[in-house]
């Protein structure tokens, strides 16, 4: 299975979510980010190459973490859209991010692949509800999942893809473990969208 995590907006959680989803699905995470944390286990694609290397195109599990430019499906992103089974668009709850999410969905929906939105890094239930209503009004009934603000992301940045196994082995991490379970539910729902 192949997943594409994409947004034209920076800082919405693409890389963190892609990395977690890759861990959850036992996939290789690849990115078009220009800066990649060396411990992350994420493979950085060569910026100059116009397509995704052939070894990731075969029938292997891959999560693609892609920034996108406004209004423009570049060659490599078009390739990613074509390869993937499910598209995931993370968003924050502020107006600019929501607009960017709508633009991103419109950019990638050409392929008719299942698209899920993750409202990420929120703390306020009222902002969450507003965001959900806004996106549903603009885009119709897409699956919308939610991930709260959590220190688990710092943990992922620190421990790389080992976050998953490490969290429950360390004592006193009840809260983190609860978050991990919440993440798992989101990733399970996303993998279900891909079917078999």
Question: Residues 63-102 vs ligand ATP: string with x where CB under 6 A?
Answer: ----x-----------------------------------
94 near 12, Cβ under 8 Å? no
Q: Which stretch binds Mg ion (CB under 5 A): 9-17, 38-46, 50-58, 169-177?
A: 9-17
Output the DSSP codes for 13-33.
Answer: SHHHHHHHHHHHHT-EEEE--
Asked if 24 is part of the footprint of ligand ATP (rule: CB under 6 A), the reply reads: no
Question: Residues 109-148 vs ligand ATP: string with x where CB under 6 A?
Answer: -----------xx-------------------------x-
DSSP element (H, E) containing 138: helix 125-139
- Assign 64 to helix, strand or coil: strand
Residue the block writes with tokens 């996106």: 135
- Rounded Cα distance between 155 and 165, Å, is 12
For ligand ATP, the binding residues in 143-182 under the rule CB under 6 A are 147, 149-150, 153, 157
Asked if 7 is part of the footprint of Mg ion (rule: CB under 5 A), the reply reads: no
For Mg ion, the binding residues in 12-31 under the rule CB under 5 A are 14-15
Nearer to ligand ATP, 113 or 155 (CB): 155
Q: 165 CB contacts (<8 Å, ≥6 apart)? A: none
Beta-bridge partner residues of 6: 66
Per CB under 5 A, residues contacting Mg ion are 14-15, 33
């Amino acid at each position: 299975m192949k997943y594409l995590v994409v947004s034209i907006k920076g800082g919405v959680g693409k890389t963190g979510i892609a990395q977690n989803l890759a861990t959850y699905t036992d996939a290789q995470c690849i990115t078009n980010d220009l800066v990649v944390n060396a411990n992350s286990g994420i493979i950085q694609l060569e910026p100059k190459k116009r397509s995704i290397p052939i070894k990731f195109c075969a029938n292997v599990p891959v999560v693609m973490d892609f920034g996108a430019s406004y209004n423009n499906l570049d060659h490599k992103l078009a390739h990613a859209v074509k390869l993937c089974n499910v598209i995931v668009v993370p968003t924050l709850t502020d107006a600019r991010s929501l607009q960017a999410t709508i633009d991103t969905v419109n950019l990638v929906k050409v392929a008719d692949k299942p698209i899920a939105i993750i409202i990420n890094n929120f703390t306020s239930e009222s902002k969450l509800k507003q965001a959900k209503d806004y996106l549903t009004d603009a885009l119709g009934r897409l699956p919308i999942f939610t991930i709260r603000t959590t220190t688990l992301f710092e943990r992922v940045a620190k421990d790389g893809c080992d976050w998953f196994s490490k969290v429950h082995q360390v004592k006193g991490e009840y809260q983190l473990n609860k978050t991990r379970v919440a993440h798992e539910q989101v990733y399970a729902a996303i993998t279900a969208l891909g079917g078999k």
